[in-house]
Structure 1
Amino acid sequence: MTHVRYTARWARAVRSDEGSSAVEAAIILPSLIMFLCLAIAGGRLVTSGAKIDAAAEDAAREASIHRTAAAAQDAAHAAASQSLDDQGIKCASISVSVNTGGLNVPVGQVGTVTATVRCTVNLSDLLLPGVPGARTLTSTATSVVDQYRQRGN
């Protein structure tokens, strides 16, 4: 009879699901946390890319209203830097290149100015503190030069 009692108790213990919730949580919770962190990181990268796009648009527009290529280059760099600062992006290095060919077209014809902004961002600034590495974000924008505005010499 004692043997039957122990066998019945053992069978109930095997069929019991006590503690299974804790085991399931221990298995699933880290995966969910990792997925959430990856989603946040992806969102921050996309948002930062949009901010670089805005900086390139600001740089192109600012360059398009100047009359000389040198002034356009300086203005584009200043506009991109200011835009990135205003949006909270801290670039480890920034470069702004401007194609000012549209400033040389004759008055009455439409020209364009294109600005490319490259910003290298430390991932620890962009994602989470302590994340190693850096990422270079690049964006290009074009702005139309007023066709009736006087051109530089």
Structure 2
Amino acid sequence: MIPSTPQQRRGRFRGDQGSEAIQAAIVTPLLIAFLCLAIAAGRLAVAGGKADAAAEDAARAATLARTEPAAESAAVDAATRSFADQGVRCARTDVDVDASGFTVPVGQVGYVTVTVRCTVDLSDLLLPGTPGARTLTSTFTSVVDVHRARQDT
């Protein structure tokens, strides 16, 4: 039977008063937590892209050098500069350079591979006060010019 008077209809819903407020109190913190996790995941992805850019810069700088020691030095400098330019503060930076492409005779293709590792505090990357650290790692390979003269090391 459907209540016909307004008083009967109001009495029917009287037990539901405040249920929307309780639902909002439960759902709102969950939505905020989900939003914070999404932002954190996005910032981690962007930081990974910055590590990729630093590895590319380091590999390209290494291929422009004439000798293996100069290539290693140029790669370290380029990676450090790239992280600084992008606003990434590394607690520790490791740059591994495989400059064996410089030993290839002129006229043959040689490659330089650079692996960059940057350990970043999560408090710098996500939210202030976040404990822990994350190591960003990226590898990039660049071609040494086939017709470029090379010096013996």
TM-score by length of 1: 0.90
Q: Which consecutive residues of structure 1, in runs of 5 or more, have no partner in the other structure?
A: 1-10
Q: Distance in 2 between matches of 1:22 and 1:84?
A: 47
Post-superposition offset of 1:86: 0.6
1:36 counterpart letter in structure 2 = L
Q: Distance in 1 between matches of 2:35 and 2:12?
A: 36
Counting matched residue pairs gives 145
Q: Residue 55 of structure 2 corresponds to which residue in structure 1?
A: 56
Query: Where do residues 59-138 of structure 1 align in structure 2 (5 Å cutoff)?
Result: 59-138=58-137
Residue aligned with 1:16, SS: helix
2:139 counterpart letter in structure 1 = T
Q: Residue 33 of structure 2 corresponds to which residue in structure 1?
A: 34
Q: Which consecutive residues of structure 2, in runs of 5 or more, have no partner in the other structure?
A: 1-9
RMSD of aligned residue pairs (Cα, Å): 1.7
Post-superposition offset of 1:15: 4.4
1:100 counterpart letter in structure 2 = A
2:75 counterpart letter in structure 1 = A
Q: What percent identity do the matched residue pairs reach?
A: 62
Q: Distance in 1 between matches of 2:101 and 2:151?
A: 11
1:63 counterpart letter in structure 2 = A
What is the CA deviation profile of residues 107-136 of structure 1, one whole-angstrom value per residue up to 9, with x for unaligned ones?
000101000000000000000001000010
Q: Residue 138 of structure 2 corresponds to which residue in structure 1?
A: 139
Post-superposition offset of 1:103: 0.8
Q: Distance in 2 between matches of 1:39 and 1:54?
A: 23
1:141 counterpart letter in structure 2 = F
Q: Distance in 2 between matches of 1:85 and 1:152?
A: 31
2:21 counterpart letter in structure 1 = A
Q: Distance in 2 between matches of 1:20 and 1:28?
A: 12
Post-superposition offset of 1:13: 7.8
TM-score by length of 2: 0.90
Q: Distance in 1 between matches of 2:139 and 2:150?
A: 23
1:69 counterpart letter in structure 2 = E
What is the CA deviation profile of residues 57-80 of structure 1, one whole-angstrom value per residue up to 9, with x for unaligned ones?
000000011111111011000000
Post-superposition offset of 1:16: 3.1
